[in-house]
Structure 1
Amino acid sequence: MMKYTGERVIPDLMKPANSLLLEHLARYQFSSYYMHGRALDIACGSGYGSHMLAKLTKKRISELVAVDSDPETILYANKRYNHQKVRFHCEDAADPLLPQKLGTFDVIVTFETYEHVADEQQLLANLYAMLNPGGTLILSTPFGQGRGKPCGQPFHVHQLTVEEFHDLFPQYSEVKFYRQIGVLIEPPRPDQKYPLGIAVCTK
């Protein structure tokens, strides 16, 4: 059994009403409506979300590749969340060779990943290269003081401002922005402050 570190979401070690767990489940539920063809979950963690997507969309996806950089986490995911349409791999999201290793996808989801990656430009380049033309990228990240500034989270490189987040996706043909507070995911309202943003990008 994996140990709960406070950063990884491990449903078996958390109460069903845990707010962090519910927030993560909400993002996977949200992304399930976009799933089709060959899909990729970057930074899949313990694997519960990849398994959830596979169960919800098994008639619409051909394969779901789930990637995380920690070998122990991938071992746990393979044992606990095995599914006939899910393939777990231990890979670095910012590896320049990742597109060659994994190929291309119709949908890519990556939740709470960006803030952990020092080489953010390589991560963004990988995501774009692995997405098929017309494909959909769904990316979430928490907001903070901005690029290069301390954020108080020991596992985060930094946390972007809203404006910096909006500037990440100029190469995509269409980008829709959403905000999340608790389990609520909605288009941003000017009278509401949100801790986290979600981008739905079409290549």
Structure 2
Amino acid sequence: MLEDTGERVIPERMKITNGLLLEHLARYHFASDYVSGRVLDFASGSGYGSHIIAKMCKKKVTEVIGIDIDKAALDYAKKTYYHPLTTYHEGDVTDPQLPDELGQFDSIMSFETIEHVKQEKQFLSNIYNMLKPNGTLILSTPFGEGRGVPCGSPFHVHQLTVPEFKALFGEYASTEFYFQKGVLIEPDSSFNTNKHYPLGIVVCKK
């Protein structure tokens, strides 16, 4: 049975007013403007996000692959979020063999993943190697006190600062940064210094 850890998003078990649910849904709806072709949902969890993309983007997406390390989550996704464009597979986002096993993608999404990963460089290297030339990455993370500093969540290795987050994507041809608070996602250009933005999103073009 899929365990509810308090951090995992399982829409069927949550109220429609749940802030965690709403902000996660908002990111996938945001990503729907950027994805096309063969899509990877890296750390796909219970599968609702892969399903949103397959349903919303069926005219421009050829395949959606969800990868997660949690077999129970994958089993739940397969039963709850079937779509003919979508498949779910077990895998570790830091496995160096993944690029050879999965091939390349036109679009990669990874939401609220990097803060869980100790092998950050391998994770980012896998993403880069699995993204086709001119492909698009959409990735998000919560902000905190910085790399190596313990944070309030027992599930997170740490939470990056805004400058640390922005420094991760220098190898890409272009990057656009966004800030999220609840369902509101604003571009970096409209950053309001008087407002606290707990989450960041980057859209990268290889």
Q: TM-score range by the shorter chain?
A: over 0.9
SS in 2 for 1:168: helix
**Corresponding residue for residue 106 of structure 2:** 106
Residue 153 of structure 1 aligns with an amino acid whose one-letter code is S
TM-score (norm 1): 0.98
In 2, Cα distance between equivalents of 1:116 and 1:15: 25
1:8 and 1:175 map into 2 onto residues whose CA distance is 28
In the alignment, what sits opposite 1:197?
200
CA deviations on 1:76-121 (whole Å, 9 max, x unpaired) are 1101101100010010000000101111000000000000010000
Match of 1:42 in 2: 42
Aligned match of 2:95: 95
Confirm whether residue 4 of structure 1 aligns to residue 4 of structure 2.
yes
Q: Deviations over 1:143-194 (max 9, x none)?
A: 0000000111000000000000000001000000000000000113142220
| Distance in 1 (alpha carbons) for counterparts of 2:14 and 2:102 | 32
Match of residue 143 from structure 1: 143
Q: Aligned partners of 2:137 and 2:13: how far apart in 1? A: 30
Q: Is residue 83 from structure 1 mapped to residue 83 from structure 2 by the alignment?
A: yes
Question: Please, which moves more after superposition, 193-202 or 182-191?
Answer: 182-191
Q: Does 1:65 align with 2:30?
A: no
* Partner amino acid, structure 1, of 2:181: I
Where does structure 1 differ by over 4 angstroms across 4 or more consecutive aligned residues? none
Structure 2 spans left out of the alignment, 5+ residues: none
Instruction: Extract unaligned runs of 5+ from structure 1.
Output: none
TM norm structure 2:
0.97
Q: The residue matched to 2:17 in structure 1 has which SS? A: coil
